[in-house]
Amino acid sequence: MFMTDSVLVKADSQPPSAQLRLWAARAASEVIDAGRSSHDAISGVLLTNPASDRDQALVKEMALGVIRWYWTLEEILQQLLKTRIRNKDRDIFLLLMIGVYQLKFMRVPAHAAVDATVQACEPAGKPWAKSLVNGVLRNYARRSADIDRQLTSDAALSAHPDWIRAHVVAAWPQAWKQILDANNAHPPMCLRVNLGRIERNDYLVQLRKAGIEAVIDPHGATGLIVDKPLAVESLPGFFKGWVSVQDTAAQLVVPALNLQPGQRVLDACAAPGGKTAHMLESQPALLEVIAVDIDRERVKRLRQTLDRLQLTAQCIAADVTQIDTWWDGVPFDRVLIDAPCSGSGVIRRHPDIKHNRQPMDVEALCEIQARLLESLWPVVAAAGRLMYVTCSVFPEENQNQIYAFLDRHPEAIVESLPMQAGIDCAVGRQTLPGVHDMDGFFFSMLKRCND
């Protein structure tokens, strides 16, 4: 693990580029070794070590690169290191990963990547490691093509832990390589235009006036795909509620609900509020929207999302499966379960999932998903619909859940979905990263018939 913040920032005389490498290595370590999310780890490092926007972007790129390509970088270093680096010098190992990542994947000149990473050993409190880091990185710069050809393990070649790779191969034998490759790619920035405020084509014009290039999402009525990711503060009208950031797969959910005026809607597991907001934007004449999430802090984010968009819903912090604690007994015409899941369909956006998810987590999540379906089915009105959604590509979280639910509930039938994107799974549709140019989502619509 890394030294304290006081050690990290004390060497102000060091070149800024060296500090950036050290901060990136520290953020990567907090994900890989301490189980934090990449967002929290990188934000935490940058909060305590202020930097320019350009330098923050570099720190983020290097940290996410090591998190994303860890297994590949690890096998490269195993070839380059004569002896294993001790656990107490784990920070040096992560710095070496930062250096190899720059040499292999970034357009940083080799001499700059090597020298800056070597200099980072000083503020890390380990000047003795300079010669080691210098020798290893210069060796890789000279022999990278030969060393890369010697990568042999499935983990190194796919940059995924074995269990995720095996799951994806078993589930999608014809598409597994496309999925894994997409997981390792930089994700696009996707926008959802609030059509209640501005037409999509008009907003596209606003983007281009601001020097931001984007294209229209062909799968939905609200989506735009931005050429290059940027800070949300740079988006025209962001604080006026004109637009939100949301992947194009997630934007397929609300149109499929076919919301009508006067309906009562429940958004279970609602935070941070993207789909709640989309509901209210798409059908302003809904009778009521109740948004529930178990995490109070996430409910705060949900309220902030709605406030920015000038929308209103009843937001409740509660365990949605304990219906007696929040439900007034009036059935819902539509229920959305955006279920907690492995996140295996959004690894390209959250590469920390590769490190922080384990096979036993999927088993536990499947139990939660089944409990959500069972607990919320009674709140669905006669002839009402319940939509089950995950951002997973694992069948046990998706179609297998629906088949099991249908076995338990003969009064439930699966309705066809209006979307064309994705693969027909008989009881729903599945989008796949790398196959459908969007995140991996599963969608299933259940209608309640006469009990």
Distances (CA, A) of 367 to 358, 363, 371, 442: 15, 7, 6, 17
Q: Which of 384, 184, 393 is nearest to 265 (CA)?
A: 384
- Biggest CA–CA distance in the chain, Å, is 75
* CA angle at 214 for the pair 210 and 218, rounded to the nearest 5°: 150
Residue 39 has, within 13 A of its CA and on its CB side, a CA count of: 3
- 315 catalytic residue (yes or no): no
Helices 399-408 and 359-376: angle between axes, nearest 10 degrees: 40
Alpha-carbon gap, residue 338 to 328, rounded angstroms: 21
In three-state secondary structure terms, 425 is coil
Question: Which of 269, 391, 425, 449 is the catalytic position?
Answer: 391
Q: Are 375 and 436 in contact (CB under 8 A)?
A: no
Q: Are 264 and 287 in contact (CB under 8 A)?
A: yes
Q: Are 224 and 215 in contact (CB under 8 A)?
A: yes
Q: Which of 352, 436, 370 is nearest to 32 (CA)?
A: 352
Q: Annotated active-site positions, please?
A: 391
